Amino acid sequence: MSTTLIQNGRIITAVDDYIADILLDDGIIKMIGLKLEVGPEVKRVDATGLLVLPGGVDPHVHLENVVGQSVTCDTFASGTRGAAFGGTTTVIDFALQTAVDGPLQAIARAQSLAESQVGVDYALHTIITRVDAQVLADMRHAQRHEGVSSFKMFMAYPGIMMADDAAIFKALRQVGADGGMVALHAENGTVIDLLIEEALAAGNTAPRYHALTRPALMEAEAVHRGIKLAELAEAPVYFVHVSSKGALKSIVEARDAGIPVFGETCPHYLLFDDSVYENEEFSVAQFVMTPPLRKAEDQQALWRALRFDDLQVIATDHCPFCMREGHLGYRQQKSRGKDDFSQIPNGAPGIETRTSSLYDLGVVQGRISLNRFVALIATTPAKLFGLFPKKGTIAVGSDADVVLFDPNEHYTVRAEHLHGNCDYTLLEGKTLQGRVKKVFLRGELIVDGDLWLGKAGGGRYVPRGNVQAF
Ligand code: URP
Ligand code: ZN
Ligand code: ZN
């Protein structure tokens, strides 16, 4: 294991901001101090002028995930390499329960796929699509013995992944009592399916109708319902990819009333609005993600919620599908929906651009503080999902997951320069301020400028503990 002294960097945590040296040894942060003295054998890295950030924790990624009829185009290898270049050293992926198996088989399957491939550390949520006594027992086992303390459930996609309200309530009641958390994808799935059916029957098949058939009101309705179910179950609840002002209204009200409701939004909801859907072209398919992009007023509400802690996390919902048929051998990805928007696999890439885009949009443009930035991308996701203080902060004893970040460098994002498998980025041609320069994973340098020094299988599974945020 390497020993490295990072000298003279500006250390930013969710609460601190100071200049010091950090000694990485044995995979952990061994010492933090002014002008640390070490032997000549210790590697030194001069971080003068750089921010020293905890490795990012991205709690919402889909690597090699089956979504509908397609599989996301990033493998655990390519996706975690992209994550590393973007300053993320821990991802939480999903283990999907299928119609014929349960949570424990899903976890084992995801681990066996990930193990030899991951370039950063990873953990798992389980997606629960069916709840019965055996599934509940498996969930309890997963929480106690497999380090899986959060379970995602869908209020959308009837017949594919949707769980009904009673199933969600049962899961909330048990998981909450056991110290874990249910994460909800909140959209009213049956009404949305009706709107999709009507749009197609009217001949409205272009990608833009994806957005028009998933109204913000149906997100707000589902969030409200999810909160009431959680309240009745006396359980905490986490809303993934919150996108709209209406959804936030219920979250804010619940939090003001002392109900433990948490939520994330994603960079794409802050970067773009629904004006991208104002054309009939198939290129719009790159913006076919769920929920769809919303209006400028929704963005304002999201920023407000991020500032005032009504939303606690920025996750990517990295769910990449190629636009070009045959790119790297991937077929029938976005093009599956060429003649029918409802067949376009939902999702967009973003794992590699989270840190820079949030730094630029949030910190440089004066919307959030540096401490809040770190809280949103590292510390709070680590706390909410039981990874703290091993992950998510810079402290003696924490894993030596450290990012050196140049707050002044500008660069232009190009898909061809990114490190995952996807053939496009939503940020193509955008110039951002702030760039990841070096990344350490448990003390090992895995990214050095443009160089990938990590290796497939160099990441580890991290079993998680209980929710820690309240
Ligand atoms: O469009 C999205 N978000 N696809 C991924 C699946 C999900 O709903 O998170
Ligand atoms: Zn979702
Ligand atoms: Zn997702």
> Which CATH number, 3.40.50.1110, 2.30.40.10, 3.40.50.300, 3.30.470.10, labels domain 4-53+398-452?
2.30.40.10
Question: Whose Cα sits closest to atom 9 in ligand 1?
Answer: 317
Query: Where does the chain hold its CATH 2.30.40.10 domain(s)?
Result: 4-53+398-452
Residues of the chain with pLDDT under 70: 469-470
185 Cα to the center of ligand 2, angstroms: 5
Long-range interactions of 194-197: CB distance < 8 A, separation 24+: 196/342
pLDDT at 470: 59
Span 378-409, pLDDT tens digits: 999 999 999 999 999 999 999 999 999 999 99
Nearest CA to ligand 1 atom 2: 347
Please enumerate in sequence order all residues whose Cβ is within 8 A of that of 159, keeping only pairs 6 or more positions apart, or say none: none
318 DSSP assignment:
B
What's the gap in Å between 186 CA and the centre of ligand 2? 8
Ligand 1 in contact with 319 (CB < 6 A)?
Answer: yes
Write down the pLDDT at residue 68.
Answer: 85
Total Cβ atoms within 10 A of residue 311: 25
Q: Against a cut of 0.85, is the pTM above it? A: yes
Domain with CATH 3.20.20.140 in the chain: 56-384
What pairs with residue 12 in β-bridges? 17
In the structure, ligand 2 is a single-atom ion and the residues with CB under 5 Å from it are 185
Q: Locate all alpha helices (DSSP H) within 328-393, ordered by sequence.
A: 354-358, 370-374, 380-384
317 lines ligand 1 (CB under 6 A): yes
CATH of 56-384, one of 3.20.20.140, 1.10.150.120, 3.40.1180.10, 3.40.50.300: 3.20.20.140
Q: Tell whether ligand 1 has an atom less than 6 A from the beta carbon of residue 398.
A: no
Looking at ligand 1, which residue's alpha carbon is closest to its atom 8? 290
Burial 94-113 (b: 16+ CB within 10 A, else e): bbbbeeeebbbebbeebeeb
Q: Mutate which of 160, 290, 426 to test ligand 1's pocket (most atoms within 8 Å of Cβ)?
A: 290
**How far apart, in whole angstroms, are the C-alpha atoms of residue 353 and residue 82?**
9
Closest protein CA for atom 4 of ligand 1:
347
Ligand 1 pocket test: pick from 58, 61, 62, 342 the residue with the most ligand atoms within 8 Å of its Cβ: 62
Q: Atom 5 of ligand 1 has which residue's CA nearest to it?
A: 347
Q: What pLDDT shows up at residue 468?
A: 87
State how far the Cα of 151 lies from the Cα of 165, in Å rounded to an integer: 15
